[in-house]
A and B are shown apart, each in its own frame.
Chain A
Amino acid sequence: AQTVTQSQPEMSVQEAETVTLSCTYDTSESDYYLFWYKQPPSRQMILVIRQEAYKQQNATENRFSVNFQKAAKSFSLKISDSQLGDAAMYFCAYGGGATNKLIFGTGTLLAVQP
């Protein structure tokens, strides 16, 4: 079975600085997708970035980028030039194979200090 682990329950960053959130996963599948979702207090899960496992190039979306290490089964999220609006719970998620469901980690609560 696939698992997703986020080992940082909480992180803090100064406004305009860079922060990296960690995620590791376990799977025996070769074709899968990895996602980072943001969940503010309003509860709506917002897709931040996604990575196809077959692509070696790391995905980027404006200030958000990932470091995807397939052999190590690691998928970290880097947020550059942090803004107050980035404060939220961040979830790493796995989707792949015959299943359509997403498997989520336990989340990292990110605080942004002004």
Chain B
Amino acid sequence: GAGVSQSPRYKVAKRGQDVALRCDPISGHVSLFWYQQALGQGPEFLTYFQNEAQLDKSGLPSDRFFAERPEGSVSTLKIQRTQQEDSAVYLCASSLNQGPSQPQHFGDGTRLSIL
């Protein structure tokens, strides 16, 4: 079946521009996660949704970062007034149900480069 799909695969933006990154989770998966992966580092948690509810946004680095999942399926991560330190790979993951026992399935990520 189809896995987690992310678009675009690559995004280049000028500093100060707004960007939107899309995630299509596996159909029927309740939980959705966003992670940020800086070059040469492990992914770091940004935010978590259970259906349409954003239950944890403790990892969002600033109020320039905003995520939504209005219908409990597709999710969008928006970054306003981008800065060079926002350059990273943004990974989306989904899991069937809530809880750490559920394996998370990852997409290929969006590589964001801020010039």
A residues sitting closer than 8 Å to B (CB atoms) are: 4, 32-33, 35, 37, 42-47, 50, 52, 91, 93, 95-97, 99-107
Contact = CB atoms under 8 A, between A and B. Distances in A.
Interface residues of B, number: 29
Contact of B108 (A43, A97, A104): A43
Given A50-B103, A99-B56, A100-B98, A43 B41 contact: no
Given A52-B101, A99-B56, A106 B41 contact: yes
Interface in B92-115: 93, 95, 98-101, 103-109, 111
DSSP majority for the A interface?
strand
Interface in B29-80: 31, 33, 35, 40-45, 48, 55-56, 59
11 contacts: A35-B103, A44-B107, A44-B109, A45-B93, A46-B106, A95-B101, A100-B56, A101-B59, A102-B43, A102-B104, A107-B41
Contacts of A95: 100-101
Contacts of B40: 106-107
A47 B109 CA distance: 15
A96 B35 CA distance: 17
B100 A104 contact: no
Nearest to B105: A47
A52 B101 CA distance: 8
A101 B33 contact: yes
B91 interface: yes
Contacts of B104: 47, 102
A101 B45 contact: yes
B23 interface: no
